[in-house]
A and B are shown apart, each in its own frame.
Chain A
Amino acid sequence: MAWAPFLVIALAAVASAVGVVLRRNPLHAALYLVTNLFCVAVLYLLQRAEFLALAQVIVYAGAIMVLFLFAIMLLIPGRTETGPDPLRAARRLAVPVAGAFGLALVLVAARTGGSGAAPGPVGVAALGRLLFTDYLFPFEVTSVLLLAALVGALVLAKRTPS
């Protein structure tokens, strides 16, 4: 009974991830990525991580995807990835190499031994308590990081007067 939602969402997540990689138009890839992010949000919900599911939708599917679409619109899609590819042989080789890597990863994942979940604190209250006690310093450093990224993006995107 508990398997049905997981299987459906997992299949949708894998399919949309494949769509991100295969679609030529970056706009289509971005829409597939939104689908994938929503699927991962539902997977968080299925694992009782409600706060993360909401943050995923707001931060990733909201803010980050708007940034991506804005950049795609700014850079005019359709002219990229056309013409002959000088590295075609290397790219062909990349797929089996990545396949072997993925196989190794799945084998390691199968050995993690997480057949059952340990009982413990779950929910937003436990997360908030941990965030503001044990992880308070990294949490504060995060704000400095965001400020640095904000200033850095502004400096990079500013037109230099010539």
Chain B
Amino acid sequence: MVAPVWYVGLSAVLFTIGVVGVLVRRNPLVIFMSIELMLNAANLAFVAFGRIHGSAAGQVIVFFVMTVAAAEVAVGLAIIVAIFRARQRINVDDLSLMRW
């Protein structure tokens, strides 16, 4: 099997791509997908760290992260749909009502 450190490096690359997506894109749906990319990268790192320490605990944490991601997507998409209904447009830069 390939050494865990390579998996950690790959997860760092994937996480960075997700960061670029969140910073650059304007569509909240694509920003959400980029957040999913970052969550997946973190999961991959967790599995690799679990292998380094010879423990299944890393996989348990990934299981919990998946659950939280599912809950987050359900609530987040509901919020986006509600905003779209109220404003008829979904550009994140227009939604500055609660900005300080």
Interface set of A (CB-CB < 8 Å, partner B): 2-3, 6, 10, 13-14, 17-18, 20-21, 26, 29-30, 33, 36-37, 40, 43-44, 46-49, 51-52, 55-56, 59-60, 63-64, 67-68, 70-72, 74-75, 79-81, 85-87, 91, 94-95, 97-99, 101-102, 105-106, 108-110, 112-122, 126-127, 130-131, 134-135, 138-139, 142, 145-146, 148-150, 152-153, 156-157
Report if A117-B25 is in contact (Cβ < 8 Å); known contacts: A59-B66, A149-B71.
no
Do A110 and B33 touch (CB < 8 A)? Answer: no
Interface set of B (CB-CB < 8 Å, partner A): 1-21, 23-27, 29-30, 32-34, 36-37, 40, 43-45, 47-49, 51-57, 59-60, 62-64, 66-75, 77-82, 84, 89-91, 93
Report if A75-B33 is in contact (Cβ < 8 Å); known contacts: A109-B5, A127-B60, A131-B63.
no
Do B66 and A17 touch (CB < 8 A)? Answer: no
Report if A75-B90 is in contact (Cβ < 8 Å); known contacts: A67-B74, A101-B16, A106-B12.
yes
Q: Is the interface of A mostly helix, strand, loop or mixed?
A: helix
Q: In whole angstroms, what is the CA distance A27 to B88 when docked?
A: 19
| Cβ distance B48 to chain A, nearest Cβ, rounded Å | 7
Closest 8 CB pairs of A and B: A120-B54, A102-B16, A118-B54, A149-B71, A94-B23, A114-B4, A156-B78, A114-B52
Do A71 and B29 touch (CB < 8 A)? Answer: yes
Report if A142-B64 is in contact (Cβ < 8 Å); known contacts: A95-B24, A157-B78.
yes
Do B36 and A60 touch (CB < 8 A)? Answer: yes
Report if A56-B66 is in contact (Cβ < 8 Å); known contacts: A13-B10, A101-B16.
yes
